[in-house]
Amino acid sequence: MRKVIFITGVSSGFGRETAQLLAKKGHIVYGTVRRPDNTPEMVKPIIMNLTDHNSIKNAVKSVLDKENRIDVLINNAGMHTGGPLETIPEEYFHLQMETNFIGTVLLTREILPVMRMQGSGMIINFSSIGGLMGLPFQGFYSASKFAIEGFSEALRMEVKKFNIKVVVINPGDFHTKNTENRRKFLAPTGNEDPYRSQYLITLSKIEADETKGGDPVMLAGKIAKIVEKNNPAQRYIIASFDQKMSVVLKKFLPEKWFRKILENYYKLS
């Protein structure tokens, strides 16, 4: 069945590959970008800024004016800060939450009335492995994804009677522009920062994992299959074996033991 799909953040990475694949499969795909020249082939561009509510309203209206329905919302867009929780600039973590969480909430609230009236819909929210465990020097990123987890869990129960499915995606490390883009929002630690030496060691480990991460094309294929399911699972953890195991270990190990594993992995002294 051909679906009208609204997906955020299609200029690169997961969003670009997913939007392009869904369009090739015959779906009508609208993808949000900041500049129309960044839109993948066959995807209809929508200029939208997740931190601007009017921009969100206008984007949704523009799709409804053309299609009169939205079958699938994929909340993919986001940004990634990095730095010590104590010293990272305040404007960075405000932007982190406004983009990853508040923007997702505002967009979802704009589209929910449409799906209710249709009596069907699917909302796919991108969380992260970092939304299931707090990651050192990525604390505000983890906080934004923890918020997505709680929001999705509650939303799923509230919209069930309207035949709206809510799916959470937890990617592990993938090789995208995420590493490059995060460098714009790294804490500018100086020699006087008490976290500086540890932060640089851990950051090196984080970025090495991302560089060796999976191909976004693989994740796009998974998302395309989920979109076409009548009864998708509530959650899909799309990650390496080791990262999937970390989620299992967190559930069953004593908290102190699991914390020690993370501290050793990220070389925290």
Residue ranges of the domains in the chain? 4-265
Catalytic residue (choose from 3, 30, 128, 141)? 141
pLDDT of residue 220: 94
Active-site residue (options: 55, 92, 127, 165): 127
With beta carbons less than 8 A apart as the criterion, state whether 108 and 123 touch.
yes
Q: What is residue 190's predicted lDDT score, i.e. its pLDDT?
A: 82
- Give pLDDT, residue 208: 85
Helix axes 139-159, 90-97, angle to 10 degrees: 20
Q: What are the Cα distances from residue 38, in Å, to 15, 20, 29, 43, 207?
A: 11, 12, 15, 10, 25
What's the CATH code, domain 4-265? 3.40.50.720
Active site residue 197: no
Q: Which residue has the tokens 């090196």?
A: 204
Q: What is the pLDDT of residues 2-15, one digit of tens each?
A: 999 999 999 888 89
Low-confidence ranges of the chain (pLDDT < 50): none
Choosing from 30, 92, 128, 145, the catalytic residue is 145
> Is residue 4 helix, strand or coil?
strand
Output the pLDDT for position 34: 85
CA angle 85/90/95 to nearest 5° reads: 100
Whether 120 is catalytic:
no
Active site residue 127: yes
Is 62 among the catalytic positions?
A: no
Quote the CA–CA distance of 177 and 195 in Å, as a whole number: 26
In this prediction, residue 70 carries a pLDDT of: 98
C-beta atoms surrounding 135 within 10 Å: 20
pLDDT of residue 175: 64
pLDDT number for residue 212: 77
Mean pLDDT estimate for the chain: 92
Q: What is the pLDDT of residue 176?
A: 62
Active-site hit among 11, 55, 142, 246: 11
